[in-house]
Structure 1
């Protein structure tokens, strides 16, 4: 599922996630998913993952802030380290 919001904006939504799935957050910096997945390698934006080895700068860009709440740092090298550039909170429940 893709979530996007303007600066200081709020995005809400819902999804049904299949049992056994693994959720992995990521942040696309100054670009879009379309640019990342198109056939043009010259317009690929920077992407950061919660796995340090996957980040081009080998720095943490996604941090668990609390129960089901993650903070994202969008600047290379760890930026200002505030992890408040994007904050995502998920409310999880079982389908009935």
Structure 2
């Protein structure tokens, strides 16, 4: 995919859990419980509902 000249990667932005490294200075991940993490996927925080992606980890 990277070598496909039809792909325009200029619109993609990496979002991180630490606001200081994001271009919008917003935290895009929050921890809901010890093993439940929620993500906001829109720049500038979007609607800040943190329900765009929710991941639960179970360790056994």
Is the TM-score greater than 0.5? yes
TM-score where L is the length of structure 2: 0.76
> TM-score, normalising length from structure 1?
0.51
User: Does the CA-based 8 Å contact 2:30-2:50 persist in structure 1?
Assistant: yes
- 1:87 equivalenced with 2:60 (yes/no): no
CA deviation after TM superposition for structure 1 residue 81, in Å: 0.7
Is 1:66 aligned to residue 36 of structure 2?
no
Unaligned 5+ residue runs, structure 1? 1-33
Structure 1 residue 73: deviation in Å? 0.4
The count of corresponding residues between Structure 1 and Structure 2 is 56
Unaligned runs of 5+ in 2: none
What is residue 14 of structure 1 aligned with on the other side? none
| TM superposition outliers: structure 1 runs of 4+ over 2 Å | none
| C-alpha distance in 1 between matches for 2:16 and 2:48 | 15
Distance in 2 between the 1:52 and 1:92 partners? 28
Over the aligned positions, Cα root-mean-square deviation in angstroms equals 1.9
